[in-house]
Amino acid sequence: MGAAGNARERARNLLVLGRLDEARAAAGEALALDGADAVALRLLAQIESADGDLGRARTHAEAAVAADQSAGSFLVLASIERRSGDYAAAIRACESGLHKDPDAPALHSTMSLAWSGPWLSEKTVRVSDRRKAAAETAERLARASLDLDPEHAMGWYALAVAMLVHNDPFAAAKVMEDGLAMHPDWPEGHLLMSGIRGRQGMVKLASRHLATAGRLAPADGTPLRRLREIAGRSGFRRRKTNTSAWWLAPEARAVLDADARLGGGDR
């Protein structure tokens, strides 16, 4: 494999483990051996993205594309552009990647999510012609990704998001039920399902998925933060004999009780 290959493999494994500083050092070691190493550049982009520095992530992703205009390089760039909220740039990057590899499921699902992205923050239930067209495009791309690979987790995710853009949370829930049946230990899937169940008014089910997401990805603080938000809502009265958030699932209450014992409520 060689020294550069060994360094890249270490960086990839450390990124999966969430040990970002060590992963960054290993990817930098590979890049020092070959300044045009596109794989190392893509890894650095993913590491910086995971660390929340999307500006540096974009710089590395653009360098990876310049070094190697492959589907993999365009996918990393598209993912970062989508996370940055530049959905048009993400779509362009996906289109470039699909010219290189039209059968890449991840490019189809990422492009689907980019089409859905601008509409997710809208609170209105009215479906305009533009929103409907975007939802239909997002759905088509998500289904294409699943046609290519029925086990592609982000294809299920993208299809559920497209259903939300259609303002059909029941269809979104059914999609995620199917996706989670295939990938039960998928933290991002449980996190999305919690949002869908919350939109349906199923608070207990939403909290159960949040607790599961937190257990599967303990380094991600999002599930605990959302559990705190649900527990703090004033729409539910606390029972005099029980101060815990009784309207949540037992496993969610256990997470919040542990957090309170550790002083998390003061953070």
Q: pLDDT value at position 74?
A: 98
Alpha-carbon gap, residue 75 to 45, rounded angstroms = 11
Per-residue b or e along 221-241, where b marks 16 or more CB atoms closer than 10 Å to that residue's CB: eebbebbbebbeeeeeeeeee
Asked if 182 contacts 156 with a C-beta cutoff of 8 angstroms, the reply is yes
pTM value surpassing 0.85: yes
Q: How far apart are CA 33 and CA 3, in angstroms?
A: 8
Separation between Cα atoms, residue 108 and residue 113, nearest integer Å: 9
Confidence of residue 1 (pLDDT cuts 50, 70, 90): low
Residue 230 binned pLDDT confidence (cut-offs 50, 70, 90): confident
Which top CATH class is 1-68? mainly alpha
Compare 108 and 262 and report the one with higher pLDDT: 108
154 and 138 Cβ atoms separated by less than 8 Å: no
Q: Per-domain residue ranges for the chain?
A: 1-68, 69-118+129-266
Contact present, 189 and 156 (Cβ < 8 Å):
yes
Mean pLDDT of all residues in 59-88: 97
CB 42 within 8 A of CB 60: yes
Q: Fold match between 1-68 and 69-118+129-266?
A: yes
Cα separation of 213 and 52, whole Å? 20
Task: Please tell me the predicted confidence (pLDDT) of residue 237.
Answer: 47
Q: Is 239 helix (H, G, I), strand (E, B) or coil?
A: strand
Q: What is the pLDDT of residue 196?
A: 96
**Nearest-5° angle of CA 101, CA 83, CA 130?**
80
**C-alpha span between 159 and 151 (Å, rounded):** 13
Total residues found in the chain within this entry: 267
- pLDDT of res. 245: 73
**CB of 120 closer than 8 Å to CB of 161:** yes
Spatial contact of 175 and 151, defined as CB atoms under 8 Å apart: no
267 burial via Cβ count (<10 Å: 0-12, 13-18, 19+):
exposed
Distance (Å) of CA 67 to CA 62, 70, 102: 9, 9, 21
Find the mean pLDDT for residues 4-8. Answer: 89
Q: Which two tokens stand for residue 242?
A: 């029980």
In whole angstroms, give the CA distance from residue 11 to residue 121.
Answer: 35
> Which CATH superfamily groups domain 69-118+129-266?
Tetratricopeptide repeat domain (1.25.40.10)
d(CA 143, CA 136): 11
How far apart (Å, rounded) are the C-alpha atoms in residues 99 and 131?
Answer: 26
Q: Which of 52-61, 227-236, 243-252, 256-265 has the lowest mean pLDDT?
A: 227-236
